[in-house]
Structure 1
Amino acid sequence: MKHETKISGERIETPVESPLHDVEQDELKGSSGRRNLIIAAIVAAAVIIGGIVYFSGTGAGETSVAAGADEGSSQAVTVVVPGSSTVERVINATGTFAARREMPIGVAGEGGQVIRVLVEPGTWVKQGQALAIIDKAVQNQQSRALAAEIGVAEADLQLAQNQLERAKQLVGRGFISQADVDQRTATRDQAIARLEVAKARLRERQAANARLNIVAPASGLVLERNVEPGQVVGAGSGVLFRMAAGGEMELRAQLSESDLAGLSNGVTAKVTPTGTSKSFEGQVWQVAPIISEQSRQGIARIALPYDPAIRPGGFGSVAIVSGATDSPVLPESAIQSDAKGAYVYIVSKDNKVERRDIETGGVNASGITVTSGLAGNEKVVLYAAGFLNPGETVNPQVRGNEQVASAGNGG
């Protein structure tokens, strides 16, 4: 506020600072100070959160603050170019152990009462070795009777031969006719025939007696015993013993159609029985010619040497090496999955994120094999792919395969 004072006719204007004027100046100074404090606080907050804050103005005392740069607005991601590696194609499956050549053994002869059983399951036997003894008391008497018949036939033959020789001497002197000689010759021949019949009947009886005992048809391992002493057995008694020829075993692995299609005889396999950490080397010796209509699976039969840990009827797992392929290999961190299946994120030439659906194969020390979906020359997001979205712009940081392998192995 201003006051005017007039002296000696001249108008003299003298500025006078009123108390109100002083208050206005103090308010202005205080307002400027508070504004500066507010700006400083905002700048500090902007630095803490790592964002970018701009203040601009044209008047005196106005401040411009910037933190960060335009290029920092794109998220930095680690990517890897997997290339292509030679990877063994391994088929993992499960199956049941069984004898490679199982032999069911029953009664081959007329049967009878079992008086002794000579083997137990787990016994190794040779071809022709007796497994069980059948009572042959009646059959032995029959054999003796047939042997006696042979003696009678031999005596009859001797008598007929002597009569024929005398007749030949007498016919020249005229004491008997030629017809008598012919008669005696026929009698001698009949005696020879009866002797041969008696001998044949004895041999038949002896062969039948030999078949009474239950014997091993081949060398191998006894798997089952289903007979006890005192039991009467015959043709309808069923299987009394089961054997594995040569003791050879096998795993009958259940495989899908696609796995069977790439499998051939002779490929190696590593078999592990359930309940043990011991593994056995085997070979595929037969691939099933048919597929089950119900399960859509077939059987690959894997030959194995004998070992007590391999028990027919038991369960086991197998890894079959069925060749090698050139495929990309990625660490587990790069592979995502959802309802549609497995996928990865790749970074395009313009640094845009793209989803790529893949199919995975076996797992080895280097990572997971990608059987389809990748050529190997793509930039695949290695970490934090779950926080990305297709179409997002990123700043890719390429990492070497050696570093990826080291990280994947805990290095």
Structure 2
Amino acid sequence: MKHRVPRRRLWLLALVASAALAACKEEAKTAPDVRPVRVMQVGGPAAQAGAELAGTVRAHVETPLSFRIGGKLIERRVDIGSVVRRGEAIARIDPQDASLNAAAADAQLASANARLAQARMDHDRSVQLFAQKFVSQAEVDNRKTALDAAREAARQAAAQRDLARNQAGYTTLTADADGVITEVLAEPGQVVAAGQGVAKLARDGVREIALDVPEQLRGAVKVGDAVLIRIWALPGREIKGHVSELSPAADAAARTYPARVAFDEAVADVQLGMSASVRLAQAGSVTANGRIRVPLTALFGNTGAQKVWRFDAGSGTVKAVPVKVAALVDDAALIEGVRPGDLVVTAGVHLLREGQQVKRLADAGAGA
């Protein structure tokens, strides 16, 4: 026997089901569409995560020490790491040849002085004879010319003697400043030419970081840019600095641009030869003409009307801001229309709408 469900109960069940369905639709309708986005602060501290290059601590002034004259190296008194003082002997070459040159110059000067004395006596005698009408004026003039020539020859011989004596003193190579020997370039027994390096001296004083800038970063680095320096021997410490030198020409072999980074603060623990990492300020930095650097992924819109999404941290919404693209540099764009410190969306820009509620990936624990 079939049991019939009363119509009143069926009506109540239908009413409950339709109410539940309406509630679900209302909840689905009112639930906001919150999208996670990646955000960066342009021109601010959050935008300083640029490329990181490896470098070495070097002295501001490094001098290759060399002899002024050539000769056989008979002694080297320093090694790598030797601390030297100004005027301290570094090396010596065989002084025999220089001593012989000095002796020969002394002899030449003595000979020139003897000829000068003879020319002076001949001139004086000609003047006396001319007074007695025994010689002509032409003879006196000849003796005067010979005396002048002998006098100049004596001066030349004296200069040659001084030069030879100086060269005899050049057989000992001395340090021209306080510092540390960082490289040895010649060994005893080797014949070195004048100007050939024997040792390299790193002068005491200013320390810098020597590094090489790759070609793809050359356009983003300029003298005066602020950097952060991390010395590997001093973990957990970052030192402020700036780019002090940048070569205009690339190294022929490595195809990189040699650069120097100076410290903006005194660091007593930094020693020569320590390894360092230099973090360059690139993405999101402000250029000299006020343009803002942003990733290409932050741009959307038509070719002639580019925009970026500006994130409002207070309301958690985004707003489209028209910008002018001034230039493209590698994987970034230099734009006008935003201010340093603005928060700009850099990922998922094509999935957003005006005033949409969004959530920063950093807030969700995924990192910015």
- Same fold at TM > 0.5: yes
1:14-59 Cα deviation digits (max 9, x unpaired): xxxxxxxxxxxxxx7xx97xx9xxxxxxxxxxxxxxxxxxxxx545
CA positional deviation for 1:288: 5.8
Tell me whether 1:72 sits opposite 2:35 in the alignment. Answer: no
CA positional deviation for 1:271: 0.8
Secondary structure of 1:265's counterpart equals coil
Pairs aligned (count): 302
TM-score by length of 1: 0.55
Deviates more, 1:181-190 or 1:141-150: 181-190
The residue number in structure 2 matching 1:265 is 223
Aligned 8 A contact 1:264 1:284 in 2: yes
CA RMSD after TM alignment: 5.0
The residue number in structure 2 matching 1:202 is 161
Structure-to-structure mapping, 1:239-250, within 5 angstroms: 239-244=197-202, 247-250=206-209
CA positional deviation for 1:169: 1.6
Which one has a bigger Cα radius of gyration? 1
Deviates more, 1:85-94 or 1:210-219: 210-219
Q: Hey, what's the Cα distance between the residues in 2 that align with 1:178 and 1:295?
A: 77
The residue number in structure 1 matching 2:69 is 109
Structure-to-structure mapping, 1:365-380, within 5 angstroms: 370-371=345-346, 374=349, 378-380=355-357
List gaps (5 residues or longer) in structure 1.
1-27, 36-56, 328-345, 347-358, 361-365, 386-403
Residue number among 150, 156, 162 corresponding to 1:191 in the alignment:
150
Aligned 8 A contact 1:255 1:299 in 2: no
Tell me whether 1:155 sits opposite 2:155 in the alignment. Answer: no
Secondary structure of 1:199's counterpart equals helix
Q: Hey, what's the Cα distance between the residues in 2 that align with 1:184 and 1:98?
A: 69
Structure-to-structure mapping, 1:345-360, within 5 angstroms: none
Aligned 8 A contact 1:271 1:319 in 2: no
TM-score by length of 2: 0.60
Structure-to-structure mapping, 1:3-402, within 5 angstroms: 58-59=6-7, 64=13, 66=17, 68-72=20-24, 74=28, 79=34, 87-88=43-44, 89-90=47-48, 91-97=50-56, 99=58, 102-118=62-78, 120-121=80-81, 123=83, 126=86, 130-216=89-175, 221-228=180-187, 230-235=188-193, 239-244=197-202, 247-252=206-211, 254=213, 257=216, 260-277=218-235, 278-287=237-246, 289=248, 301-304=260-263, 309=270, 311-312=272-273, 314-320=275-281, 322-323=285-286, 370-371=345-346, 374=349, 378-382=355-359
Q: Hey, what's the Cα distance between the residues in 2 that align with 1:108 and 1:149?
A: 23
- After superposition, the Cα gap between the structure-2 partners of 1:201 and 1:299, relative to the gap in structure 1 and judged at 3 Å, is closer
List gaps (5 residues or longer) in structure 2.
295-310, 312-330, 333-340
CA positional deviation for 1:195: 1.1
Q: Hey, what's the Cα distance between the residues in 1 that align with 2:163 and 2:142?
A: 32
Aligned 8 A contact 2:69 2:195 in 1: no
Aligned 8 A contact 1:157 1:191 in 2: yes
- After superposition, the Cα gap between the structure-2 partners of 1:204 and 1:85, relative to the gap in structure 1 and judged at 3 Å, is closer
